[in-house]
Structure formats: C-alpha cells, structure tokens
A and B are shown apart, each in its own frame.
Chain A
C-alpha cells in the first residue's frame, strides 16, 4: 500500500502552467529516493484554483503546495516526503492576512465552497473508473434502474434541480416532457458547447469527472425512454474529449454503457459530436441542427426538442453541470439535494470567478450565498486594494450588479430581478478602473459577432447598438443616444428568436440601470470617469514631479514628447494618440505622467489617476 498520494492538478489550466513537467520530475525524483512504490501520483482534474497552479497536494496530510514547477519537485521530495519539513515558500499565502496556509480546506478560496457538481474534480484520477466507483459512482444509475421512469422523473422534480446552462428551466419538468412524448426512438443530448468567454465550468467537469456526466445521461435515458445519447462538445476542448472517450470506453468495458446495463434490460450508448466553435450552437435547437450535419442556426419553438428534437425524435437536452448533479440526486435522494440552496434555486452553482479579485478560478457555492461572500471571502477581495465596482454575472449575455447589491443572494430569481442572469456561470469582477460603457461595448462586440444573422432584431439590432456604444466611447455620442440605446435594447430583447438575441442587450440594460451617470458623462461631458476610453483622455506631465529621465520620450511611438535630460518633459497634445505608453514607462515612484479626462465640464472636477491601472 502507498504511504502517500501526491495529487497533481492536470486540468487544462495547470497543464498549460507545466503540470506535465511536474509529473515527469516527480517520477524521476521518486525513483532517485526509492519512493516509487511508496508514493502514488494522481493526475487529477481541475482543483479550481487555476491562478495558483500547478497545484501539488500531498495526502493524507493534505499539504497544499501551489505554483509548483518541475525544478521545485526535488526539494519537495527531499525536504517534505523524505524529511517531513514543509517547503514553506511553496505554501499558499493568504492575500489578506499574509499568513501561510498548509491545508487546502483552510484556504478561504475553498472553505466557503460546497463542491457537489465538482465533488470528484481534483479528487480522483478522471481516467480511472474504479476511483469513480469508490466515490459512489454509478450507485445513482443503479437506483434509477430499480425505479420506473415516472419515479425517476419525480425524484428529479422533487430535487428542484434547474438547468445550469443558462435559462434555469426545471430539469424534472423537461424530463417529464421527454417521457410523455410518444416515440420508439428518443435521445439524450449533453450540451457541452460552453461558449461564454472565460467560462470553463463544463470543461472542468468533463476533464475532471467525465463518468458523472455519463451517469447523468444514462439516468436521463432511463427516465425518458431514450437509448442513445450525444455529447456536443467544443473541439477546442481536446483534453475533455480525450477523457470523455476514455470514460466511454471504460464504462462500456464495465457494462455501464451498452446493452443490458447491469442486467436491467436497459440499453444506452453515447456518441461524441465535436462542435466547430459557433457560440450560437449552445442554443439547443442550433445544437441539434449541428449534430444533424446542418448549419447551426436556431429554429422556432414550439415544438420543443423534448417533443420533436434530434432527427425529429423526442430529445432531452441538459447542460454538463446539470447532468453532473443527477447521480448525486439519485444516490443521496432528492430531499438531500434540495436541502442546499434557496426556495426557488436548489443545490449549488459553479462559477468561473475572474477579473479584479485576488483569487480567481473555479468556485462552487450554495445557491443563496451573497455576491459579497463570493467576491470578498472566496475571491479574497479586490486586487491592489482597489474599490469594487460591479460583478458581471452570466457571461456576455448577463448583467452587471453594482456595489449596492453586493448582498444580493445568488439564485436564479434574485439575479433575474436585478437585471442579470445566472447564465452558465461567468462571474467577472470589475473595479473602479473599469468603464462600464466600454464594458457593455466589449460584451456586445462578442454577441454581435456571434449572432447567426437569421433574425433581424438580433442581426441588425446588436450591430446598431454596438455602433452607438462605440461612438459614445470615442467621444462622438449625441444627445438622445442613451434613449435610443434603451429603445433598441428593448426591441432586440423582445423580437429576437433565440436566447442569444433575447439576452444580448443585458449588459447594456444593466449598465444603463446602475451606471447611467457614466453614459451621461461620456455623451454630454465627453468625459470618461474611469479613465479608460482613449478618445476622452489626455496625458500630461507634471513638471514638479518629472525628473527628466527620458523614458517616456523613448516609449512614445509618435514622438509626441520632448525635453532635455534632467529637465521636465512635455507632451504635444496635437501629436498624442493617448496610447498610454508614457504613463506605463514613467517610474511608479516618480508618477509624473498623469491621465485626465477633463471633458467639457466647467467645474474642473478632474478625474486624475496617479496610480497604475
């Protein structure tokens, strides 16, 4: 038996940071110290704390080393595995208290999380079905096979599970439609076309716990009468696809997939369909068209896919995270699942926490937790002591939640009421240095590019909204633009055929709702309060502070700065392109270059930023 287990995070993030090389170095080092039979290496799925990767955790003590590189491995082996001395420089350091933390569950990033969908991610070797079984895997399927389809559907209904892909539709009700739809052939489709920029919840589940998704699909098959499943996954997720293929092969070998599963008479097979990267294919009818080999564009509903879906057969489509919850519901029971969360939103939600927080990564939290807890406890607060401004929740189709709503509980209904949405789980935190108009423009640039162009409100409406936003950020906004934006946003929302267009205006609408003064400042005062929109900025050099080092002169790409050595320099405003190179080049301790956005305001309340962004 092994004395120790070393768990190296082998999610895509940690692999790109060198986890593979860490593994190679560990194999070598263990051999050198004759420990290869005493220490087991587990290449696990994502542990969530991608920013600190590669992660290297030693069990049974649960010593958490982060940012480990191949060259650190021999020191860990010699000092810790052989002598028992902690390698302190590789321990996690709390960004707020500055204290070192040894065990991963004592780290704030993890301690407030509740990992249900991610229960096996970062815990098991995802390419080993035995580990999944030891963790309770396939017990949920076994229970489902002992129940009739109506009982399985009722169990999922009772659990209160709502779809985690965006809309939050009750999963049990969707299954009920699938079960009630007559047909000798039915399908289950796993929507793994995760397209929100920066979101990687589904990828991490597929990479870290592929059997959970397969088991969830099989339970859905048993509940609805389907005998075939498709996983529609982005081709940009090669590791997830590899691990899924391995899991399917193992499940077939173990008799969990295929004919007469567990001698129950239930048959189920799973195929993988790789998507080509169109964002709109995350919309369920576009996804089905893509599987069928057609152009991936949405179609009108009804009929809904549960009635007429893949090849016109009843098809239940669930997102990865939704399906990963199903085995747990079947194994522990609906009431157990429903004991977590709020009245209308049961269970947990996985978020990709990014932006201006100290701790970024993948977090799973109970529904009902406040945004404040996620940002300041799990996320460790705002970087460089800056001020929180907003949380963009729900990806490019989500909305901004401002500081006054920091205590808003994260659940489907509260977020919708605040103008945002749960979405698939993107959570981008922005600080005082973010221009909300520019951010709305940025998200709209994504959705307008990804519009399939089939319906006019989405195709033209998002384009027109983008043009107005671009003009505003370039200082060309006109009176009436804000009202026009609102009118267009409302039309696009109401008139678009699918979820892409119906939600694309959300970032604009919520920034207008909560940060209208910023729009007004851009349009009427030609001023960007956050000092972001280049066309509204002015760079100048403070003569008192300038030491005449000429760094800004060398950095300026348009030779707009003049000045002798050790003499104050000057920027020619006619030549300046507001690129900010001088600001970046000026030594921080000198801080002679200032950014201003004076605009047309007469009271000269200048927004002056003297610190680096």
Chain B
C-alpha cells in the first residue's frame, strides 16, 4: 500500500463501481471495515512518510 487509494488487503472494496462511504476517515483511522494490524500500520506508514513536522497533522 503506497497510496491511500491502494487496497490494503482483499477486504478493501473501495472501487469505481462500489465507493466506500468512509474512505476519507479510513485513510487516517482505518481500516474501518475489518480488523487488521498490518492494514492499520500500512496506513500509518503513509501518514508517517509525509508528516514532516509535528504540526503537519494538527491543522
């Protein structure tokens, strides 16, 4: 999972045909439709990668 739009695993169903209504929240707090530590860490890694300062996420 390099980008938020990438599926973290086969359980993620977000696609052009079937949009996820909690996609925005899922990027930062997900996964929301299933429990998975690796999937959670994959999202956190993206956030970590781009957060260049402590204030980056606080805005």
A and B interact physically: yes
Shortest C-beta distance, A503 to chain B (Å), equals 35
Query: Which residues of A are found within 8 Å of B48, using beta-carbon distances?
Result: 1
Q: Enumerate A258-290 residues with CB–CB distance to B below 8 Å.
A: 258, 260-264
Please indicate the chain B residues that have their CB under 8 angstroms from the CB of A253 in the complex.
5
Chain B neighbourhood of A7, CB < 8 A: 52
> How many interface residues does A have (CB within 8 Å)?
35
Which chain A residues lie closer than 8 Å to B52 at the CB level? Answer: 5, 7, 40, 42, 59-60
Give CA–CA (A125, B50) in the complex, Å.
9
CB-nearest residue of chain A to B16: A255
Determine if A139 and B24 form an interchain contact, defined as CB atoms under 8 angstroms apart.
yes
Contact B20 A134 (CB under 8 A): no
| Seed contacts A1-B45, A262-B24, A263-B18; 12 additional CB < 8 Å A-B pairs | A59-B53, A60-B54, A128-B50, A129-B4, A130-B4, A133-B4, A134-B27, A134-B46, A141-B24, A260-B19, A262-B23, A263-B19
Chain B residues within 8 Å of A129, by CB: 4
Asked if B35 lies at the interface with its beta carbon under 8 angstroms from chain A, I say no
Chain A residues within an 8 Å CB radius of B24: 133, 138-139, 141-142, 262
B28 contacts the other chain (Cβ, under 8 Å)?
yes
A169 interfacial contact with B, CB 8 Å: no
Q: Is B21 an interface residue (CB 8 A)?
A: yes
- The answer to whether the Cβ of B25 comes within 8 Å of any Cβ in the partner chain is yes
Give a binary string over B23-59; 1 marks a CB under 8 Å from any A CB, 0 the rest: 1110110000000000000000111111111101101
CB of B4, distance to nearest CB on chain A (Å): 5
Is B7 interfacial (CB-CB < 8 Å)? no
Q: Do A134 and B47 have beta carbons less than 8 Å apart?
A: yes
Q: Which residue from chain B places its CB closest to the CB of A123 in the assembled complex?
A: B56
Alpha-carbon distance between A262 and B32 when the two chains are bound, in angstroms:
14
A residues within 8 Å of B by Cβ? 1-2, 5, 7, 40, 42, 59-60, 62, 119-120, 123-125, 128-131, 133-136, 138-139, 141-142, 253-255, 258, 260-264
Report the nearest B residue to A331, measured CB to CB. Answer: B59
Q: Would B49 and A1 count as touching, CB distance under 8 A? A: yes
| Cβ–Cβ < 8 Å partners of A123 in chain B | 56
State in angstroms the CA–CA spacing of A123 and B5 once bound together: 22
Q: Look across to chain B and name the residue whose beta carbon is closest to the beta carbon of A262.
A: B21
Ordered nearest first, which 7 A-B pairs have the shortest CB separation? Answer: A5-B52, A59-B52, A263-B21, A263-B19, A138-B24, A255-B19, A142-B24
24 A-B pairs with CB atoms under 8 Å apart are: A1-B45, A1-B49, A5-B53, A42-B52, A60-B52, A60-B53, A60-B54, A120-B59, A128-B50, A130-B4, A131-B50, A133-B4, A134-B27, A134-B47, A134-B51, A134-B56, A135-B56, A141-B24, A253-B5, A255-B14, A255-B19, A262-B23, A263-B19, A263-B21
Whether A254 and B47, one on each chain, are in contact in the complex, defined by CB atoms closer than 8 angstroms, is no
B52 shortest CB reach to chain A, Å: 3
Are B21 and A134 closer than 8 Å at their CB atoms? no
Bound-state CA distance A62–B53 (Å) is: 8
Alpha-carbon distance between A128 and B24 when the two chains are bound, in angstroms? 15
A254 and B20 form a contact (CB under 8 A): no
Contacts of A136 in B (CB 8 A): 59
| Chain B residue contacts of A131, Cβ below 8 A | 50
Residues of A within 8 A of B3 (CB): 130
How far is A417 from B46 in the complex, measured between Cα atoms in Å? Answer: 50
CB distance from A259 to the nearest CB of B (A): 8
A255 to B27 Cα, complex, angstroms: 13
Q: Which residues of B contact A264 (CB under 8 A)?
A: 21
* CB of B16 to closest CB in A, whole Å: 7
Quick check: B27 and A133 within 8 Å, CB to CB? Answer: yes
Residues of B within 8 A of A119 (CB): 59
A255 near B23 with CB under 8 A, answer: yes
Alpha-carbon separation in the docked complex, A40 to B56 (Å): 15
Smallest beta-carbon distance B41→chain A, Å: 12
Query: What is the bound-complex CA distance between A359 and B57, given in angstroms?
Result: 29
A1-B48, A133-B28 known; A254 and B53 CB under 8 Å?
no
Residues of B within 8 Å of A60, CB to CB, are 52-54
- Residues in B whose Cβ lies below 8 Å from that of A142: 24-25
Question: Which residues of the other chain, A, contact B28 by a CB distance below 8 angstroms?
Answer: 133-134
Given contacts A7-B52, A262-B20, contact A134 B57 (CB under 8 A): yes
Note all chain B residues with C-beta closer than 8 A to A138: 24
**What is the bound-complex CA distance between A258 and B17, given in angstroms?**
12
Nearest CB of A to B1, in Å: 11
